[in-house]
Amino acid sequence: MNEISALQKVRASYQPKLPAVLLNGINNVSASEGAPTEAVRDKESIKELFKNLYGMPVVTFEAGSTKSSAVRNVGVILSGGQAPGGHNVIAGLFDGLKNANPENKLYGFLGGPSGIIDGKYIELTSDIIDAYRNTGGFDIIGSGRTKLETPEQFQKSLDVCKSLNVSAIVIIGGDDSNTNAALLAEWMKDRNTGIQVIGCPKTIDGDLKNEQIEISFGFDTATKTYAELIGNIQRDANSAKKYWHFIKLMGRSATHVGLECALRTRPNIALISEEVEANNWSLKYITDYMTDIIVKRANAGKNFGVALIPEGLIEFIPEIKAMIANLNDILAKADGFDNWAIEEKMSYVSTNLEKANAEVFNSLPSIIKSQLLMDRDPHGNVQVSRIETEKLLIEMIEQKLKGLKAEGTYKGKFSSQAHFFGYEGRCAAPSNFDADYCYSLGYNAVALIENGLTGYLSSVRNLSKPASEWIAGGVPLTMMMNMEKRHGEMKPVIQKALVKLDGPVFKELKDNREKWALEECYLFPGAIQYFGPSEVCDITTRTLYLEQNSKLVTK
Of residues 201, 224, 261, 275, the one with CA closest to residue 440: 201
Point out which span in 119-127, 247-255, 275-283, 462-470 binds ligand FBP (CB under 6 A): 247-255
C-beta of 252: minimal distance to ligand FBP in Å?
A: 4
Measured CA to CA, the distance from residue 423 to residue 26 in angstroms comes to 36
β-pairing, 196-201 with 456-461?
A: parallel
Angle ∠(110,114,117) on CA atoms, nearest 5? 105
Is 149 near ligand FBP (CB under 6 A)?
no
Does position 81 interact with ligand FBP (CB under 6 A)? The reply is yes
Residue 311 engages ligand FBP in binding (rule: CB under 6 A): yes
The torsion angles phi and psi of 449, rounded to 5 degrees, stand at -65, -45
Among 16, 19, 75, 80, which residue sits at the site for ligand FBP (rule: CB under 6 A)? Answer: 80
Element (DSSP H or E) covering residue 482: strand 481-486
Report the 3 state secondary structure along 67-87.
CCCCCCEEEEEEECCCCCCHH
List 72, 252, 391, 496, residue binding ligand FBP (CB under 6 A): 252
Please report which helix (H) or strand (E) contains residue 196, including its range.
strand 196-201
In the complex, least distance from residue 337 CB atom to ligand FBP, rounded to whole angstroms: 19
Options 80-88, 160-168, 261-269, 511-519: segment touching ligand FBP (CB under 6 A): 80-88
Largest CA distance in the chain: 81
Q: Report the DSSP beta bridge partners of residue 108.
A: 76, 122
Binding of residue 457 to ligand FBP (CB under 6 A):
no
Question: Minimum distance between the CB of residue 2 and ligand FBP, rounded to whole angstroms?
Answer: 26
Beta-ladder partners of 166: 73
CA–CA dist 400, 295 (Å, integer):
11
Per CB under 6 A, contacts with ligand FBP among 117-146 are none
Do residues 441 and 151 lie in contact, with contact meaning Cβ atoms separated by under 8 Å? Answer: no
Give the span between the Cα atoms of 201 and 146, in whole angstroms. Answer: 17
**Minimum distance from residue 125 beta carbon to ligand FBP (Å):** 27
Sequence-ordered list of residues with C-beta below 8 angstroms from that of 554, at least 6 positions apart, any chain = 508, 511, 512
Q: What mask, x for binding ligand FBP by CB under 6 A, covers residues 22 to 61?
A: ----------------------------------------
Contact status: 85 vs ligand FBP (CB under 6 A)? no
Nearest approach in angstroms of CB 400 to ligand FBP is 28
| Nearest Cα to Cα of residue 463 among 267, 217, 298, 235 | 217
Closest CA to 166 of 239, 74, 238: 74
113, 251, 412, 474: residue in contact with ligand FBP (rule CB under 6 A): 251
Site for ligand FBP in 179-238 (CB under 6 A): 203-205
Residue placing its CB nearer to ligand FBP in the complex, 219 or 506:
219
* Residue ranges in 404-443 that form contacts with ligand FBP under rule CB under 6 A: 426
For position 384 contacting ligand FBP by CB under 6 A, the verdict is yes
Among residues 92, 183, 176, which one has the least CA distance to residue 132? Answer: 92
Q: Report in angstroms how near the CB of residue 89 gets to ligand FBP at its nearest.
A: 13
Our finding on whether 385 is near ligand FBP (CB under 6 A) is yes
CA proximity to 459, closest of 447, 433, 477, 441: 441
Min dist. Cβ of residue 26 to ligand FBP (A)? 28
Rule CB under 6 A: say whether 259 interacts with ligand FBP.
Answer: no
Interface with ligand FBP, residue 275, by CB under 6 A: no
Please list the active-site residues: 205
494 binds ligand FBP (CB under 6 A): no
Q: How far apart are CA 224 and CA 499, in angstroms?
A: 18
Q: Amino acid identity of 296?
A: K
Q: Which is nearer to ligand FBP, 237 or 331 (CB)?
A: 331
Q: How far is the CB of 219 from ligand FBP (least distance, A)?
A: 10
Contacts with ligand FBP, residue ranges (CB under 6 A): 80-81, 83, 174, 203-205, 250-252, 311, 384-385, 426
